[in-house]
Amino acid sequence: MTLVCNLGRRDYESVWRAMSHYTDTRDGDNADQIWCVEHEPVFTQGQAGKAEHLLNTGDIPVVQVDRGGQVTYHGPGQLVVYPLLDLKRAKVGVRDLVTALESATVAMLAEYGLAAAPRADAPGVYLTEGPRAGNKIASIGLRVRRGCSFHGIAINIDMDLAPFLRINPCGYAGMQMVQMAELMQPVPGWNQVAEIFVRELLRTLSLAEADWQPVDESIFKRASAPEQGTEEQETSNG
C-alpha cells in the first residue's frame, strides 16, 4: 500500500527532518509514502557539495543536507516529490528509482506536449526540442538508508528561476534552467501536474494506484534532527 500526500507549502528543514525520521523508524509493516510539497525559498547543498558552487546566495538560506551531490534551489511554484519507499520490499534498485523518476517526468511533460529526456552524464530531465533544448526542467537527489529511499525530485512549473543564477546548479557552471510556464500557456496547475506525475511514477514502478490522503502530522511532531544511519547509498542531485 502506498499513501500519497499533498503537504502544501512548507519550510524545507521540517520536511527533511520528518522524512528522515520516518525512514529511520519505519519497519516492514509501515506503508510506503509519496510526499508532494512546495518549499519556501532555500538552497540545499549535498554532502559532497563544494562552496565554490555557491556564487551569491544573498538572503536565501543554505541548508547542508544528507543526500549526495551539489547545490540546488527549491521555491514556490516548483513541485518537489519525495518517494519514501521500502526499496528492499519492492525489489527496486537505486538506479531503478532514478530511472522511474526521470521516466515519470518525461511522461508527464509529454501529456502537455513537451519533449524531454534524461541525460546519461547528469541525473535529471532536460528539454529535447525547441529553442530551449538542453535546458534542465527537473533535478534529482536521493538518499537510501536501511534499504529505504528519501529525498527525491524537483520539477519546475511556474516559479522564480532567478535564484538559480546565484549558484552553479547541481555543480554545473552555466547550467540553464527552464520551467513549464516558459513553454506553454495556460500554465497547468500545481495539483494537476502532481497528480499526473504521481500516476506515472506508480505505473513505472508497478505500484498499485493510491489514494491521496492527508499526511500524518504526528510524523512531523516526532521528528528530530536527522541522524546518520547504516546501509546508506546516495545519488548525485542533478
**Averaged pLDDT, 184-203:** 97
pLDDT at 50: 86
pLDDT at 233: 62
pLDDT band at 181 (very low <50, low <70, confident <90, very high): very high
pLDDT band at 229 (very low <50, low <70, confident <90, very high): very low
Per-residue pLDDT tens digits for 82-129: 999 999 999 999 999 999 999 999 999 999 999 999 998 888 999 999
Tell me the residue range of the domain where 48 lies: 2-235
CATH number, residue 190: 3.30.930.10
Tell me phi and psi for residue 195, to 5 degrees.
-65, -40
5, 36, 148, 170: the catalytic one is 170
pLDDT at 228: 47
Per-residue pLDDT tens digits for 137-150: 999 999 999 999 99
Among 202, 196, 165, 166, smallest CA distance to 180 is for 196
pLDDT at 226: 45
Per DSSP, what are the bridge partners of residue 36?
A: 6, 81
Query: Is the pLDDT confidence value at 230 over 60?
Result: no
Query: Is the pLDDT confidence value at 225 over 50?
Result: no
pLDDT band at 167 (very low <50, low <70, confident <90, very high): very high
pLDDT at 49: 83
pLDDT band at 238 (very low <50, low <70, confident <90, very high): low
Domain count of the fold of the chain = 1
Query: Is the pLDDT confidence value at 78 over 70?
Result: yes
User: Quick check: is 36 catalytic?
Assistant: no
Residue 121 contacts by C-beta under 8 Å, 6 or more apart in sequence? Answer: none
Query: Is the pLDDT confidence value at 202 over 60?
Result: yes
Which pTM was predicted? Answer: 0.93
CB contact burial 184-203 (16+ within 10 A = b; e otherwise): eeebbebeebbbbbbbbbbe
